[in-house]
Amino acid sequence: MKKTIVLLALIGNMLTFNLNAQLTFKPAELKTHVSIGMVIYSNDTETVWNALRLANYAKSEGDTVCIFLLGKGVELDNLVKENKDVKEQSELFLDNGGSILGCGTCLRSRKNNAPQVCKISSLKDLYELIRKNKIVLTF
């Protein structure tokens, strides 16, 4: 009888130890950095501002973020001249090592051959952004 009780106690301790080991919170395992691609195709001030805010927050968390401006999104050059909040967020993003690419065809169709905020890019660059990033968001 004593052997059975000791054996059950040992099995209970082993199960409890194993369960505790599996349930132990390990914050380092939860925090992984990812690469995020953002495609901004809007010229709506609030939408662009929020996309840039998210990009800056993600960078502050250690993630890699690249932005591609497409269609109306290439009008970011105009938005930074008109809105101080958008200008502040875009400058913060670029100052912290962020990359903003702009569709060359879209820029040329708007007669913007020398953009101030983005680098003139191509469909190939957009394709590479989509392929290399774990997460791609559109705004």
Could you tell me the pLDDT band of residue 31, with boundaries at 50, 70 and 90? Answer: confident
CATH number given to 29-138: 3.40.1260.10
Q: 102: which strand partners?
A: 69, 120
Instruction: Report the half-sphere exposure of 21 (CA within 13 A, side-chain side).
Output: 6
Over residues 94-115, the mean pLDDT reads 97
Predicted local distance difference test score (pLDDT) of residue 125: 98
Where exactly are the structural domains of the chain?
A: 29-138
Q: To which residue do tokens 């809105």 refer? A: 83
Over residues 103-114, the mean pLDDT reads 97
The candidate with the shortest Cα–Cα distance to 47, out of 101, 94, 89, is 89
Could you tell me the pLDDT band of residue 27, with boundaries at 50, 70 and 90? Answer: low
Over residues 109-127, the mean pLDDT reads 97
